[in-house]
Structure 1
Amino acid sequence: MPPKTRRSLKRTSSAISTVSATSTCLSRSPSPPPTPVSDPTTSTPDAFVKLDHIPDGPCTTSWSYYSAIPKECAETEAVCLGVDEAGRGPVLGPMVYAVSYVPVTRKDDLAQVGFADSKQLKEEQRDQLFKTLSKHPDWIGWAVHVCSPQDISECMLRRAKHNLNELAHDTTIDLIARVLKNGVHVTEVFVDTVGPPDSYKKKLEANFPRIDFTVTKKADSLFPCVSAASICAKVTRDAILRGWVFAETGLDDVFSRGFGSGYPSDPNTIKWLNEHIDRVFGYPRVIRFSWSTCAKLLEDKGVCVRWPGDDEDRPTKSADIRGLFGRSGSTVSEEEGSEPPRKKPERDPIFRSLRHVMSI
């Protein structure tokens, strides 16, 4: 494919995603690991049960929820806290980070209640365990932070990119800091790692030098407090997607919520993406436009738009070095073989139109 055509396609994809996600460019994210194929019936409105901690309306901005501080956690001198996430790899929907905390003296009680690796549990089992949290408000506390797909796109597509690892680290730090600010004396934290465990641990220790951190892979299967956090994150994300409210007018009754799992390896997700793409406007804001899966579909199926600036990065003809030693009194542009200065391209008409809009 000629370079000019590739540049045009890239700008087309960026234009489509800008309309839907207020983004300015496209980037690629690492391909997530293969995931089990979802049951398309689990993402339908009929299966949706509203959870009290999830706000009404579209999920266009990120938000947090913190449970009441358990009485035992407020009175004890030592609390352990687990951190995990859900929805890091999917091409659509939010990414949810969660923490769960209990007194150090009761951390083994979580295992007796039934908390285990949420990824090994069926959806109904996770829902039941999430309800268990509300049955023990005197000693189990929890919190979630929901990163909206729109905010994820904007972080990863802006000029000073904020990648997914940095977003995950910052979210974890904010959750821990807020729990501490609420008066909980956290002494131990167990984290399911994002990126290299050692560097992540050092970053956390630099922010919280008085806390003992354990950062490792598969922490949700090793520590019950991380498993509880994992269930909070997973149940919250699933509920948001099942009851997804489209921010775009008129789509609630037209677009299916059979998203599948959201992973690019899920045929149900790919089917949804292929069936709901608009050649001009792309996708609604449930999509993460920074994912390569989305970018590829927009390039292949979106309208190809030629922008006035397409030729700005056209390579120019280099002046012959002999021109530097030309006749006395002459300039390089006067020498044979050199190219006259190029006229600065006109500004895109859309920016000139915006001046009139902003002056109203």
Structure 2
Amino acid sequence: MFSPLLEFDKQQAIRYETNFLIGIDEAGRGPLAGPVVACACFIPPAVVQHFNDVNDSKKLTEAKREEIFKRLTSPGNGIIYGVGFATALEIDHLNILQATFLAMRRAAQKFLHMPDSCVLIDGPYPAQGLQMSQHPVIDGDAKSLAIAAASIIAKVTRDRYMSVLEKLYPGYGFGGHKGYGTAKHLQALRELGPCREHRRTFGPVRKLLPPEGSLL
């Protein structure tokens, strides 16, 4: 099956003269709670044809994301990937853009010494502080197979983490909205106040902080 995303990556590998094309993407920049999660992913040319159904995580159903995630992360398939988190506290301390770069650097750690590697990053900016050859690709998760694979791993990893937070902080509905500012989430915020996983520098949360800034 023809994959425009795979063809894009083949052209980028030729353009940048690399056999190790790594995709990086993140999940969770917009939510009011929880971490931002990044993934760096390399799919060897020998197995890439088995992942022609990989696409931008936002275009896939939850069930399809889970199915592809399991295949991408299955031991022994040759795929190399790393995942990095930046916590809500780090987001508040650094700002969301710099925290995203931090998560990306953490995700890419195992690739730092890979010779002749090249990184494609989703978005308009290179990741500050990442000491690798890198090229930003706007809408990269809809263009590049490597970036799309990274987007799926990052998204599913974060969704699962938010389901854990649902149990640790009951009442907020983290397992459903994943920290995004839905009506249900905002109502829970008004009733319960922010918890330690909320991003205090984000407007809807900041408005509800008690004067002393303490958290539940």
Q: What TM-score comes out, normalization by structure 1 length?
A: 0.48
Shift of 1:177: 4.0
Match of 2:4 in 1: none
Shift of 1:132: 0.6
> 3-state DSSP class of the match of 2:112?
helix
Bigger radius of gyration: 1
Q: Distance in 2 between matches of 1:202 and 1:188?
A: 13
> 3-state DSSP class of the match of 2:180?
coil
Shift of 1:111: 4.1
Q: Distance in 2 between matches of 1:202 and 1:242?
A: 28
For the 8 Å contact 2:26–2:38, the answer to whether it is kept is: yes
Matched, 1:122 2:61: yes
> 3-state DSSP class of the match of 2:100?
helix
Change (3 A) 1:272 1:186: farther
Match of 1:267 in 2: 183
- Structure 1 gap ranges (5+): 1-76, 156-161, 247-251, 278-282, 306-360
Shift of 1:186: 5.1
RMSD: 2.5
Q: 1:77-122: CA deviations, max 9, x gaps?
A: 832110000010101111101111123x34752642x210101111
Q: Which amino acid aligns with 1:292?
A: G
Q: Distance in 1 between matches of 2:108 and 2:34?
A: 24
Change (3 A) 1:164 1:110: farther
Q: Which amino acid aligns with 1:214?
A: H
Match of 1:145 in 2: 84
Q: Distance in 1 between matches of 2:47 and 2:205?
A: 42
Matched, 1:187 2:117: yes
Shift of 1:286: 1.6
> 3-state DSSP class of the match of 2:76?
coil
Match of 1:338 in 2: none
- Structure 2 gap ranges (5+): 1-17
Q: What TM-score comes out, normalization by structure 2 length?
A: 0.77
Q: Distance in 2 between matches of 1:95 and 1:225?
A: 19
Match of 1:168 in 2: 100
Match of 1:101 in 2: 42
> 3-state DSSP class of the match of 2:26?
strand
Shift of 1:275: 2.2
For the 8 Å contact 1:107–1:224, the answer to whether it is kept is: no
Instruction: State the identity %.
Output: 27
Q: Distance in 1 between matches of 2:143 and 2:75?
A: 22
Match of 2:32 in 1: 91
For the 8 Å contact 1:80–1:107, the answer to whether it is kept is: no
1:223 to 107, 131, 144: 144
Match of 2:154 in 1: 233
